[in-house]
Amino acid sequence: MDAILAKINSNPILWLILAAFAIILVVAIIKRVWKIFVTIVIIVLIYAGYLYFTGQKIPTSKEAIMQHGKKKLEKIKKSSKEFIKETKKDIVDETKKELIEEGKKKLKKK
């Protein structure tokens, strides 16, 4: 380890290469974090716009945001359960109809 550090300290070109590599690394990290940050800001602005245009109160405190989120999740859970029940019933009914029709066709062939 000491030999590597001595070689780096004695050679200014290696310092330049390491500095360039460090700068490239920092810029790459900032770009990725920036993209994530911009994405989150856009999502929050779209959500706030949705709340504003639907006439709902925009939550301002952490507790209000959590409560609002829980209410929305419960509403989504309820509607998705109903959707699944209806879809399941429709699938069963359609499958029964298709089986009956296939059975009738096979009986007619015999």
Range of the domain at 91: 62-110
CB 58 within 8 Å of CB 51? yes
Q: Provide the number of structural domains found in the chain.
A: 2
Q: What pLDDT shows up at residue 110?
A: 66
**What angle, rounded to 10 degrees, do the helices at 2-10 and 12-53 form?**
100
CB-side neighbour CA atoms (13 Å) of 38: 6
Residues 53 and 15 grouped into a single domain: yes
Encode pLDDT of 33-89 as tens digits.
888 899 999 998 998 888 888 887 777 788 887 887 888 889 888 888 888 988 988
Residues 80 and 39 grouped into a single domain: no
Pick from 58, 76, 97: which residue ends a domain?
58
Residues 11 and 52 grouped into a single domain: yes
What is the reported pTM?
A: 0.38
Residues 70 and 84 grouped into a single domain: yes
Residues 50 and 7 grouped into a single domain: yes
